[in-house]
């Protein structure tokens, strides 16, 4: 049998390899237009981000190795341009020579895959605009980033590839904006409320997400400098398009092949409408395994399984391909997302009467180090209890939750099949009742009426209007809600009418359910538990009265909102400006936010952040989201690395270094990079452009000051009676001694004012550098920082010293003391010696993992 396979990535190579193993006598030729075959397309974002170091690691097989391994003939650089099914011929064009040839077959497999959808907007030909589909694409992006030192990027497309690209760009220190024309991210993958949670999480992680936004024009003069969108202009130096894919089936349009929206229609044996022509992979429309209706599911996993099944069918094995569930999982910064089966919207559209539940749980024993959470949404058919779909968000192994659901869906399981499932348990891996089973229990309780609840989607849509919010937490935490202590409820609750509508809310939902159970026993008829509780929902009380609880005060303080002590529930929110410099667009956003959510007033803090005044407690989260949409963030409190302050640097007549550029790097590497690292106390950094010390670097925990060290050519010194160097030295360190100019090293502050002042050019040359002060402090107790002996000439040296200082403070500081106290206690010489060595960096991982300074000493 002579089998011709068009396409050499996942489905094509899998079909060929399995077919050759099933029947060694089969003559198989794989034709592909790529120079690579069988590459790991799903790994491309991780190569861009550097997690995969070598491009070669993405190439599963070279054509030569694959041919040797399988016995299959592989012909690269060949593109199929037409199919004549009656003659069993495919016309193929050589992409290098342009020559055409005709290839014949007994059986034809179309595994032509898909390509990125073309974005039809002006300016796409600019340098710095990329798609991400092949290893060559990923290599080009990585090279461009490194060569152009890219700091800002835009990703068009909020699907799996777009979000993975965004995460990996962020890991490389790039500011990323993701936009999508759809009204939510991960469209057709997650339900709206789950997608909203992911969007909010990404915003908190510093990835700007704009949904419902149309890309209109790429801006630049040869190189991309920005993107015009329906939401405004987005500046960027790199643009990645990941806005969907389209099947590579253009050449088949006149072949007589039955297709739908560019995809090839196949039956359950992967056979097309043409005799002896089969298809598999991203170019194929298969069926949904639950509904039996057509579904396009271009995934590497299903492409491989389709190819394997097809190979067995071609050798006469009685087998069918059952279809797809649309299973997927994606890694995001600090959050994993998994799903399988139908979304709620898809299930309702398919005609099912749907019941859902959303349940936050621990992902393993809560006391085990590294324990995290799952947020699980189950979708089931109300009458039969048949499982229809699952969506899971979490910090850990969401794939295990999804895989349990996959097996259940494959077997047509109902919820009761999971009720006592004996899943593996040990504290490092799971909870005693498995998180999936816990979610099933809650949904069964909801179906049988033991639990009466409101979904987050219903809550967001306003269904809770008219309900009194009851705070059922361990301690009061919802501003304006009536607090009810579960343990104290032994009968009627004073002040609560048994007929009124009560929304019971706690941290994750369990205590609210327990309270509902008890209240129903005592005759309360209209209690409803909010699914997802405060863990998932932003819960607000209409017209709250009274002061905000101390617990809530502390929580929002960590977000950068400090209580105005003259009010009951007003706060001042700190907007981080990175280094005191913001764009006009950012300034407009801050002003708009102040009017929308605060008093309309904005103040400047001494640390060059901006503070929006008079923000009510209920407006804190809406304000934060509004700012995050514009790429701004609040914060700057607690026992952590604080936002950097900077003077004007080289934009000042005396500036010697680019303070904005340096402080931007410090901000990303240490304010963001160390945001989860607790220190003994606050750690403040200032960057000054010259020894004028405008931002007082020597009164910060660590200060950096630009230096210009003169390189004096003494042979050119004439010993002038009136020396211009001596005359111009602002601190009178330069003096003529015995007919020669002298500048003692311990007196010169390296301001650079002497450069170019000698008419005989003795002071023409210089070295730019950085002086680093440690142990300064301003406040109730003032400490003057001391500078390290060395003047540093390389920026990376400076950044290394900054990191080592932070690590030293965390490792050797005592909780509650400032860095100045640590330096004084350990001794300046000791600290300097440690900062100049690399031992602190070698202990970095162990240091950061340690359970230290959990309280800290910062009070503001």
Closest Cα to residue 378, out of 330, 342, 422?
Answer: 342
Distance CA(199)–CA(180), nearest Å, equals 12
Cβ burial of 200 (10 Å; 0-12, 13-18, 19+) is: middle
Give the per-residue SS3 of 481-546. Answer: CEECCHHHCCCCCCCCCCCCCEEEECCCCHHHHHHHHHHHHCCCCCEEEECCHHHHCCCCCCCCCC
Q: Would residue 748 show up in a list of annotated catalytic residues for this protein? A: no
- Beta bridge partner(s), residue 354: 381
DSSP letters for 124-156: TTSBTEEE-SSHHHHHHHHHHHHHHT--EEEEE
Closest Cα to residue 207, out of 226, 185, 190, 192?
Answer: 185
**Are 681 and 813 in contact, with CB atoms under 8 Å apart?**
yes
Q: How big is the chain by its Cα radius of gyration, in Å? A: 32
* Token pair in block for residue 275: 């005799």
Distance CA(842)–CA(171), nearest Å, equals 21
**Are 188 and 343 in contact, with CB atoms under 8 Å apart?**
yes
**Are 807 and 847 in contact, with CB atoms under 8 Å apart?**
yes
**Are 639 and 679 in contact, with CB atoms under 8 Å apart?**
yes
Number of separate helices (H) and strands (E) present in the chain: 23, 45
DSSP label at 414? Answer: B
Question: How many of the other CB atoms lie within 10 Å of CB of 54?
Answer: 8
Per the document, the length of the chain is: 860
CA-based max dimension of the chain: 106
Strand 263-265 to strand 215-220: parallel, antiparallel, or no bridges (unpaired)? unpaired
Distance CA(163)–CA(178), nearest Å, equals 8
Distance CA(437)–CA(498), nearest Å, equals 33
DSSP letters for 794-839: -HHHHHHHHHHHHHHHHHHPPTT--HHHHHHHH-HHHHHHHHHSSH
Task: Name residues whose C-beta falls within 8 Å of residue 113's C-beta, 6 or more positions apart in sequence.
Answer: 7, 9, 10, 11, 12, 247, 248, 281, 282, 283
Distance CA(338)–CA(271), nearest Å, equals 31
Catalytic residue from among 42, 652, 694, 720: 42
DSSP label at 549? Answer: P
Q: Which residues carry out catalysis? A: 42
């Amino acid at each position: 049998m002579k089998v011709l396979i068009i396409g050499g990535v996942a489905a094509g190579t899998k079909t060929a390899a399995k077919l050759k193993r099933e029947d060694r006598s089969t003559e198989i030729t794989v034709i592909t237009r790529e120079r690579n075959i069988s590459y790991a397309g799903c790994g491309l974002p991780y190569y861009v981000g550097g997690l995969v170091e070598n491009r070669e690691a993405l190439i599963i097989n070279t054509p030569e190795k694959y041919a040797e391994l399988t016995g299959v003939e592989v012909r690269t650089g060949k593109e199929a341009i037409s199919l004549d099914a009656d003659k069993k011929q495919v016309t193929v064009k050589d992409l290098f020579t342009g020559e055409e040839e005709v290839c014949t077959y007994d059986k034809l497999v179309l595994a032509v895959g898909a390509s990125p959808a073309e974005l039809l907007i002006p300016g796409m030909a600019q340098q710095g605009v990329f798609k991400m589909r092949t290893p060559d694409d990923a290599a080009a992006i990585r090279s461009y980033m490194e060569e152009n030192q890219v700091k800002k990027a835009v990703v068009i497309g909020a699907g799996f590839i777009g979000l993975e690209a965004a995460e990996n760009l962020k890991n490389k220190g790039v500011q990323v904006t993701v936009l999508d024309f759809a009204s939510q991210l991960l469209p057709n993958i997650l339900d709206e409320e789950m997608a909203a949670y992911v969007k909010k999480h990404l915003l908190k992680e510093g990835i700007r997400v704009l949904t419902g936004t149309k890309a209109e024009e790429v801006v630049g003069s040869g190189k991309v400098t920005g993107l015009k969108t329906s939401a405004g202009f987005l500046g960027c130096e790199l643009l990645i398009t990941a806005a969907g894919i389209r099947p590579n089936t253009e050449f088949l349009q006149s072949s007589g092949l039955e297709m739908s929206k560019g995809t090839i229609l196949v039956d359950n044996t992967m056979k097309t409408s043409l005799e002896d022509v089969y298809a598999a992979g991203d170019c194929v429309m298969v069926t949904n395994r639950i509904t039996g209706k057509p579904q396009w599911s271009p995934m590497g996993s299903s492409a491989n399984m389709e190819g394997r099944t097809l190979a067995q069918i071609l050798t006469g094995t009685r087998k069918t391909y059952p279809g797809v569930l649309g299973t997927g999982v994606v890694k995001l910064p600090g959050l994993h997302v998994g799903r399988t089966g139908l979304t709620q919207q898809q299930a309702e559209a398919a005609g099912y009467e749907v019941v859902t539940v959303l349940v936050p749980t621990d992902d393993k024993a809560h006391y085990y180090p590294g324990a995290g959470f799952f947020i699980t949404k189950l979708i089931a058919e109300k009458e039969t209890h048949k499982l229809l779909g699952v969506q899971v968000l979490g910090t850990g192994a969401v794939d295990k939750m999804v895989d349990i659901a996959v097996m259940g869906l494959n077997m047509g399981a109902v919820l009761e099949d999971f009720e006592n499932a004996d899943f593996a348990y040990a504290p490092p891996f799971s909870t005693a009742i498995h998180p999936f089973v816990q979610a099933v229990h809650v949904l069964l309780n909801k179906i049988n009426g033991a639990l009466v609840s409101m979904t987050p989607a219903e809550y967001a849509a306003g269904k809770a209007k008219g309900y009194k919010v009851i705070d059922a937490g361990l301690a009061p935490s919802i501003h304006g809600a009536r607090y009810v202590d579960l343990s104290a409820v032994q009968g009627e609750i004073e002040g609560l009418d048994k007929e009124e509508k009560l929304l019971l809310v706690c941290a994750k939902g369990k205590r609210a359910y327990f309270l509902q159970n008890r209240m129903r026993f005592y005759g309360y008829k209209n209690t409803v538990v909010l699914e997802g509780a405060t863990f998932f929902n932003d819960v607000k009380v209409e017209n709250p009265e009274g002061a905000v609880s101390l617990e809530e005060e502390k929580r929002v303080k960590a977000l950068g909102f400090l209580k105005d002590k003259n009010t009951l529930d007003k706060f001042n929110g700190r907007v981080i400006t990175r280094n005191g410099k913001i764009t006009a667009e950012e300034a407009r956003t801050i002003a708009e936010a102040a009017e929308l959510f605060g008093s309309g007033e904005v103040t400047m803090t001494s640390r060059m952040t901006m503070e929006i005044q008079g923000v009510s407690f209920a407006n804190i989260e809406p304000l934060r989201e509004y700012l995050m949409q514009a790429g701004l963030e609040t914060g700057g409190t607690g026992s952590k690395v604080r936002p950097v302050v900077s003077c004007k640097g080289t934009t000042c007549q005396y500036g010697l270094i680019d303070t904005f550029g340096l402080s931007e790097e410090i901000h990303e590497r240490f304010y963001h990079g160390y945001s989860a690292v607790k220190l003994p106390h606050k750690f403040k950094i200032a960057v000054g452009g010259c020894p004028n010390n405008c931002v007082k670097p020597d009164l910060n925990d660590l200060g950096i000051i630009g230096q210009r060290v003169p390189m004096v050519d003494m042979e050119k010194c004439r010993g002038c009676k009136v020396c211009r160097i001596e005359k111009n030295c602002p601190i009178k360190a330069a003096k003529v001694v015995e007919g020669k100019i002298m500048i003692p090293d311990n007196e010169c502050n390296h301001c650079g004012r002497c450069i170019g002042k000698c008419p005989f050019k003795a002071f023409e040359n210089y070295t730019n550098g950085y002086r680093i002060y440690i142990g300064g402090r301003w406040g109730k107790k003032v400490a003057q920082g001391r500078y390290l002996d060395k003047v540093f000439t390389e920026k990376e040296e400076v950044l290394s010293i900054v990191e080592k200082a932070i690590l030293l403070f965390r490792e050797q500081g005592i909780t509650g003391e400032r860095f100045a106290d640590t330096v004084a206690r350990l001794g300046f010489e000791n600290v300097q010696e440690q900062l100049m060595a690399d031992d602190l960096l070698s202990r970095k991982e162990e240091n950061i993992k340690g359970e230290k300074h959990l309280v800290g000493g910062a009070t503001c």
